Amino acid sequence: MSTEAMTATVDAAEAFGAMQFIWREAEILDRLDYKAWLPLWTQDGLYIIPTELGVKDHADALNVAYDNAEMREARVKRLRSGFSMSASPPARTVRTVSRFVFERDGDVLVVRSAMQIAEYKFERLRTIAADVEHHLEAAEGGQWQIGRKIVTLINADDYLHGIGYLF
């Protein structure tokens, strides 16, 4: 996506609505309510966690996740099954999302933000930080749906510990 394509302004009400949506998604993920998380997506939405920094073409790169609807559902099923070693027992998490930047690309609202996750598991507290890019599409009833979510961990190009939850 070029910067020239994203020149339209975003009004304050739309920006606040998008922030509320993203905060709600974070709260859903902290509750491990993956069943509520799946309908937040468009049918053709992509959930991407790159393994390299600065990659623009994620389809042609190695990723931790490059999930379409079918893969998101399979990942959720695995996380809820209790058979995933990295997800059992589930980590307790608290997400903080801030530093919102808004750009419009046609009908898509692109929201870039910073996210920190405090994770507690096995009597250990760990902090994870990431840049997140949501591509939000208007849905019926004035709601948003996620058309694309790219979670770039600040240590994406380093060794990653087992992560048994969604970002």
For all residues of the chain together, what is the average pLDDT? 91
Place of tokens 């939000």: 136
pLDDT value, residue 160: 79
CA-nearest of 99, 95, 105 to 32 is: 95
76 neighbors 38 (Cβ within 8 angstroms): yes
Domains of the chain: 12-153 (3.10.450.50)
Backbone φ/ψ region at 157: left (φ over 0), alpha (ψ -120 to 50), beta: alpha
What confidence tens digit (pLDDT) does each residue in 92-138 have? 999 999 999 999 999 999 999 999 999 999 999 999 999 999 999 99
pTM of the model: 0.90
In sequence order, which ranges of 8-163 are alpha helices (DSSP H)?
Answer: 12-30, 34-37, 69-81
Range scoring the smallest mean pLDDT among 17-21, 36-40, 139-143: 139-143
4: pLDDT strictly greater than 80? no
121 SS3 class:
strand
What is the C-alpha to C-alpha distance for residues 154 and 127, in angstroms, rounded to an integer?
Answer: 11
CA-nearest of 126, 98, 95, 100 to 112 is: 100
